[in-house]
């Protein structure tokens, strides 16, 4: 597998010198508008008049320059006419010619200026339209919530129903805006739809359709982007390039192509060209929205969401970073050959274009495909648990922070040693590495959760995220997706519909305010771990396994136990090694404790695996 090339296009056999550096920002058109959105929307007319004045001044300057150039170029012609001795006839002919040229030049300058002027006016109009949708809907929703909260309900149940109805109305209004504006608003909606640990069901379920409603950019705009970014047309790089994408997401779409130099079939991921125009404005609108929510409802501070987008989106929009992440993850999992994970190899990358090995599969929730190919759902669930627990607890492991169903595929592999399938992992734009101390305390937190040891849970919640005793029950529910009463009994039991409804109801009855405040204070990496946990939990539930979450919790416990054991060995080595008698005793205690837990969990997991395969062993 080839590593990401520092010089774009080298891997495809092209001259690296032809690669275009992204020296001119693609965001220049909306930068002026974006910078002012959170502060003053009322200044749009002032900005428009300023822009018009500036364009008029530019047009006048351009016209005067053209007239000066015209005079310089035509004066020799006039002199030659006088010297020829043809008198007024020749002079008149030259004068007519000069008039035609003058009108043509002036007309051309005016025409070009009008086109440029028109483009800017159209951009300003569309920007105002996008802004108006967001601001208008925000105002309506804020007013709706304020009115609903002022209603004096006869019973608590009636109050709950009123709030749920308000949630639904506002979610549907917001959905329409996200769909119309597109761009990163689709990405935001997809992210919100996966935040079951934070938002009421009325919001998350309403946004689910956004998972399948992604824009598709025209092949013409993609072709223009290729020329701008690489200096080459599509047909100069590929002998075949399918104009219809095989998949589209909020930020990019994927085409199938064949490299001209090697004949290799590849997947070509291309960013939506329109993002360059709207990303700055849309990020500013996102900041403005959450700032206004905080102003009218101070107890619901969601500004951490916009801060996370400000940080992560520019990284996700640079496909060179994604190429590096994919290569790093592939190299890391080479050490774990027992895990049937496939990461497509990278051919070459530009900022907005990524060419990778073409590998296809089916969605992990395609149960008909799994069953018809005799692929065990429980084994798929266990494999996913191994992959993502290794990413979380592995030493210096890269963590994929967006593992939803569209970024994972399953393909049949009848020649596999232990499994008859492989997991394909796509979209490596959002990655993090968990710091060692945080990873170790997080492992101890989960071991305490599995043991239902509330005191240790509180201790490590404080070390992991600065959680107080008052905040702890809420944090424990957020990180596990379980009701707190379940955590004190058996976290590995299957989540029931009643439990999910109870959590959603609690969010509507006041817990939401506390959770929003809590998540605004925890480290950013914890938010991403929460997101990853929630997505992988959703993947597992969609598989409808026979074992429920029991096996996945056993796998988590094995990785957490290994992490704690590694810390104990490191402490022993730092304090003089095994040559010191006391350290040797510590090592024996740590080693026997680890083996005891590892053996117990390994046997239990093996029994579950056999039970899954044969359906008779208990």
Active site residue 402: yes
Q: Where are the beta strands (DSSP E) in 383-501?
A: 399-400, 408-412, 421-425, 431-432
pLDDT at 103: 52
- Res. 452 pLDDT band, cuts 50 70 90: confident
Name the range with the highest mean pLDDT among 384-398, 401-415, 561-575. 384-398
Q: How far is CA 163 from the centre of its chain?
A: 30
Q: Which of 229, 301, 402, 483 is catalytic?
A: 402
Full 3-state SS string of 487-549: HCCCCCCCCCHHHHHHHHHHHHHHHHHHHHHHHCCCCHHHHHHHHHHHHHHHHHHHCCCCCCC
Cα three-residue angle 221-227-230, rounded to 5 degrees = 125
Query: pTM (2 decimals)?
Result: 0.72
What DSSP line would sit under 343-354, residue for residue? -PPEEEE-SSEE
1-18 b/e with 16+ CB inside 10 Å = b?
eeebbeebbebbebeeee
Which DSSP category does 18 fall into? Answer: G
Residues constituting the chain: 618
pLDDT at 501: 55
Flag whether pLDDT at 487 surpasses 50: yes
Instruction: Please list the residues that pair with 271 across neighbouring strands.
Output: 252
The domain limits of the chain are 1-23+216-359, 29-211
- Res. 97 pLDDT band, cuts 50 70 90: low
- Res. 208 pLDDT band, cuts 50 70 90: confident
Instruction: State mean pLDDT over 515-535.
Output: 80
Q: Of 258 and 501, which is predicted with more confidence? A: 258
- Res. 37 pLDDT band, cuts 50 70 90: very low
212-224 b/e with 16+ CB inside 10 Å = b?
eebbebebeebbe
pLDDT in tens, 299-349: 778 888 888 889 889 999 999 999 999 999 999 999 998 899 999 999 999
Q: Distance (Å, rounded) from C-alpha 267 to C-alpha 420?
A: 24
351-367 b/e with 16+ CB inside 10 Å = b?
bbbbbbbbbebbebbbe
Name the range with the highest mean pLDDT among 69-78, 106-115, 170-179, 532-541. 170-179
Token pair recorded at residue 515: 């959770």
Q: Are 266 and 358 in contact (CB under 8 A)?
A: yes
Long-range contacts of 495-502 (CB under 8 A, 24+ apart): 495/541, 495/549, 500/201, 501/201
Pick the closest to residue 286 from 300, 307, 317, 312 (CA basis).
Answer: 307
pLDDT in tens, 271-284: 999 998 999 999 99
Flag whether pLDDT at 129 surpasses 70: yes
pLDDT in tens, 235-256: 999 999 999 999 888 899 999 9
Name the range with the highest mean pLDDT among 296-300, 355-359, 429-433, 525-529. 355-359
- Res. 377 pLDDT band, cuts 50 70 90: very high
Token pair recorded at residue 285: 């609108």
Alpha helices per DSSP H over 84-155: 87-150
Q: Are 253 and 216 in contact (CB under 8 A)?
A: yes
pLDDT at 219: 97
Full 3-state SS string of 235-274: HHHEEEECCCCCEECCCEEEEEEEECCCCCEEEEEEECCC
Pick the closest to residue 442 from 426, 424, 464, 414 (CA basis).
Answer: 464
Mean pLDDT lowest for which of 84-88, 93-97, 385-389, 477-481? Answer: 84-88
Sign of CA dihedral 371, 373, 374, 380: negative
The overall average pLDDT reported for the chain is 78
Name the range with the highest mean pLDDT among 11-25, 136-150, 587-601. 136-150
């Amino acid at each position: 597998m080839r590593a990401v090339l520092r010089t774009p296009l080298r891997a495809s056999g092209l001259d690296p010198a032809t690669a275009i550096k992204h020296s001119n920002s693609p965001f220049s058109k909306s930068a002026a508008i974006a910078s002012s959105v959170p502060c003053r929307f009322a200044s749009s007319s002032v900005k428009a008049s300023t822009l018009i004045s500036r364009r008029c001044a530019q047009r006048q300057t351009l016209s005067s320059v053209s007239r000066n150039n015209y005079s310089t170029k035509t004066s020799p012609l006039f002199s030659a006419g006088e010297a020829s001795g043809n008198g007024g006839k020749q002079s008149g002919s030259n004068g007519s010619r000069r008039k035609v040229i003058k009108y043509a030049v002036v007309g051309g300058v005016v025409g070009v200026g009008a086109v440029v002027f028109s483009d800017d006016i159209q951009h300003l109009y569309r920007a105002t339209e996008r802004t108006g949708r967001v601001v208008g809907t925000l105002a309506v929703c804020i007013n709706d919530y304020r009115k609903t909260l002022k209603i004096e309900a006869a019973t608590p149940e009636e109050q709950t129903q009123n709030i749920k109805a308000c949630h639904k109305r506002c979610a549907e209004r917001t959905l329409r805006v996200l769909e119309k504006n597109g761009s990163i608003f689709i990405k935001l909606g997809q992210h919100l739809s996966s935040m079951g640990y934070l938002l009421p069901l009325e919001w998350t379920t309403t946004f689910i359709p956004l998972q399948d409603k992604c824009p598709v950019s025209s092949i013409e705009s993609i072709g223009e982007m290729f020329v701008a970014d690489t200096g080459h047309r599509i047909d100069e790089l590929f002998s075949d390039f399918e104009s219809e994408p095989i998949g589209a997401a909020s930020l990019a779409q994927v085409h199938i192509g064949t490299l001209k130099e090697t004949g290799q079939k590849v997947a070509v991921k291309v960013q939506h060209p329109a993002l360059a125009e709207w990303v700055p404005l849309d990020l500013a609108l996102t900041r403005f929205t959450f700032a206004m929510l905080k102003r009218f409802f101070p107890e619901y501070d969601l500004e951490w969401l916009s801060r996370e987008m400000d940080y992560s989106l520019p990284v996700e929009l640079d496909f060179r970073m994604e190429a590096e992440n994919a290569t790093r993850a592939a190299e890391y999992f080479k050490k774990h050959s027992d895990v049937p994970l496939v990461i497509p190899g990278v051919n070459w990358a530009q900022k907005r274009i990524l060419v990778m090995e073409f590998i296809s599969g089916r969605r992990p929730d395609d149960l008909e495909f799994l069953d018809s190919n005799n692929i065990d759902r429980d084994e798929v669930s266990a494999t996913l648990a191994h992959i993502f627990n290794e990413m979380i607890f592995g030493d210096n492991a890269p963590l994929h922070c967006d593992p939803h169903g569209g970024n994972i595929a399953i393909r049949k592999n009848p020649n596999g040693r232990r499994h008859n399938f492989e997991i394909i992992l796509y979209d490596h734009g959002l990655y993090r590495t968990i710091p060692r101390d945080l990873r170790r305390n997080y492992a101890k937190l989960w071991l305490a959760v599995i043991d239902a040891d509330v005191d240790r849970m509180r201790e490590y919640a404080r070390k992991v995220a600065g959680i107080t005793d008052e905040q702890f029950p809420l944090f424990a529910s957020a990180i596990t997706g379980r009701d707190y009463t379940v955590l004190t009994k058996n976290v590995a039991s299957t989540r029931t519909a009643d439990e999910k409804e109870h959590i959603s109801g609690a969010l509507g009855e006041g817990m939401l305010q506390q959770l929003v405040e809590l998540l605004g204070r925890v480290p950013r990496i914890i938010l991403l771990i929460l997101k990853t946990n929630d997505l992988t939990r959703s993947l597992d539930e969609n598989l409808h396994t026979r074992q429920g979450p029991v096996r996945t919790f056993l796998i988590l416990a094995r990785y957490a136990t290994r992490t704690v054991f590694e810390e104990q060995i490191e402490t022993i080595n730092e304090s003089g090694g095994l040559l010191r008698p006391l350290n040797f005793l510590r090592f024996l205690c740590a080693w026997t404790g680890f083996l005891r837990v590892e053996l117990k969990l390994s046997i239990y997991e093996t029994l579950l695996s056999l039970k899954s395969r044969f359906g008779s062993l208990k």
